[in-house]
């Protein structure tokens, strides 16, 4: 469903991602792990066509992102953590509808889909209020709803639970499981090992823009003769846990 083939991205001659190849199969949930600056966001941005690779090729649902960016975008839902970029003066519903229009949905589809998502994320109560006064958790719900209004087959999430409290983070994890049950393909970045352990079939670990591991967590545990993901991670990136 997602294929990266020797992808490199350089910013002013400095590589942020280097020779990166991996695949995410249809319906798979894959965690993208790495320290700050490892290249996670850059990778997700390239897959979502916001950035173009300097070298290499990215294919989503058999479509080359360089040639079919628009078609790729229609198949993808993107949620970047931190700043949600919602329009403060618009209501939650209007924010969602705005994205629905960008994706070319008709008004009726937007309306039914919005109601459905509002029920699902427990946001009916504030659906018609302006986003300006919303809490972080409420904003995140609207942002998620907005990013999947077009019912994409692929969902890319960049540190989706960062800054959320336990309730909101749990809601979010449930959502990933629901998406998975619906057969969506999910790639999400995180540096919370337990979250990855709970949600992912497989992990891709980056270090300074390069792939250092790609496989199931079970195979990672077996190779390191340990189930301590934090310690394994430190080993993989060469600090041996002595930091």
Ligand X SMILES: Nc1ncnc2c1ncn2[C@@H]1O[C@H](COP(=O)(O)OP(=O)(O)OP(=O)(O)O)[C@@H](O)[C@H]1O
**Which residues are at the interface with ligand X (CB under 6 A)?**
11, 16, 34, 36-42
Looking at beta carbons only, is 40 or 150 nearer to ligand X?
40
Q: Is 41 in the site for Mg ion (CB under 5 A)?
A: yes
Looking at beta carbons only, is 11 or 87 nearer to ligand X?
11
Judged by CB under 5 A, which stretch of 35-43, 70-78, 132-140, 179-187 contacts Mg ion? 35-43
**In angstroms, what CA-CA distances link 107 with 35, 87, 110, 119?**
42, 19, 5, 18
User: Least Å distance between CB 117 and Mg ion?
Assistant: 25
How long a stretch of residues is the chain?
Answer: 243
User: Least Å distance between CB 223 and ligand X?
Assistant: 23
Judged by CB under 5 A, which stretch of 1-9, 37-45, 104-112, 149-157 contacts Mg ion? 37-45
User: Least Å distance between CB 158 and Mg ion?
Assistant: 6
User: Least Å distance between CB 111 and ligand X?
Assistant: 35
Closest residue to bound ligand X by CB: 16
Q: Is 42 in the site for Mg ion (CB under 5 A)?
A: no
Looking at beta carbons only, is 99 or 188 nearer to ligand X?
188
Looking at beta carbons only, is 36 or 242 nearer to Mg ion?
36
Binding site partner of 87, from Mg ion, ligand X, none, Cβ cut-off 5-8 A by kind: none
Looking at beta carbons only, is 22 or 99 nearer to ligand X?
22
Residues 44-63 that bind Mg ion (CB under 5 A): none
Looking at beta carbons only, is 40 or 73 nearer to Mg ion?
40
Spatial distance between the Cα atoms of 158 and 40, rounded to a whole number of angstroms = 8
For every residue of the chain, DSSP letters joined together read -EEEEEEEEEETTEEEEEEEEEEE-TT-EEEEE--TTSSHHHHHHHHTTSS--SEEEEEETTEETTT-HHHHHHHEEEEESS-----TTSBHHHHHHHHHHHTT--HHHHHHHHHHHHHHTT-GGGTTSBGGG--HHHHHHHHHHHHTTT--SEEEEESTTTT--HHHHHHHHHHHHHHHHTT-EEEEEES-HHHHHHH-SEEEEEETTEEEEEEEHHHHHHHHT---HHHHHHHHTT-TT--
User: Least Å distance between CB 31 and Mg ion?
Assistant: 14
Binding site partner of 31, from Mg ion, ligand X, none, Cβ cut-off 5-8 A by kind: none
User: Least Å distance between CB 15 and Mg ion?
Assistant: 16
Residues at the interface with Mg ion (CB under 5 A)? 40-41
């Amino acid at each position: 469903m997602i294929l990266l083939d020797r992808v490199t991205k350089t910013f002013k001659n400095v590589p942020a991602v280097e020779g990166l190849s991996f695949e995410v199969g249809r319906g798979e949930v894959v965690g993208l792990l790495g320290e700050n600056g490892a290249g996670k966001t850059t990778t997700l941005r390239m897959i979502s066509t916001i950035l173009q690779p300097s070298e290499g090729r990215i294919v989503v649902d058999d479509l080359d992102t360089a040639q079919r960016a628009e078609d790729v975008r229609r198949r993808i839902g993107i949620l970047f953590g931190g700043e949600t970029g919602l329009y403060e003066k618009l209501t939650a519903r209007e924010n969602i509808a705005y994205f629905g229009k960008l994706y070319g949905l008709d008004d009726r589809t937007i309306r039914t889909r919005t109601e459905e998502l509002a029920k699902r994320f427990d946001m009916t109560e504030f659906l018609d209020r302006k986003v300006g006064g919303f809490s972080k958790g409420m904003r995140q719900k609207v942002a998620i709803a907005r990013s999947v209004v077009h019912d994409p087959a692929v969902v890319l999430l960049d540190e989706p639970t960062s800054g959320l409290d336990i309730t909101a983070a749990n809601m979010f994890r449930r959502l990933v499981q629901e998406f998975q049950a619906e057969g969506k393909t999910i790639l999400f970045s995180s540096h919370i090992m337990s979250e990855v352990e709970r949600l992912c079939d497989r992990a891709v670990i980056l270090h300074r823009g390069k792939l250092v591991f790609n496989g199931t967590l079970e195979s990672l545990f077996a190779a390191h003769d340990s189930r301590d993901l934090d310690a394994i991670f430190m080993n993989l990136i060469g600090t041996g846990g002595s930091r």
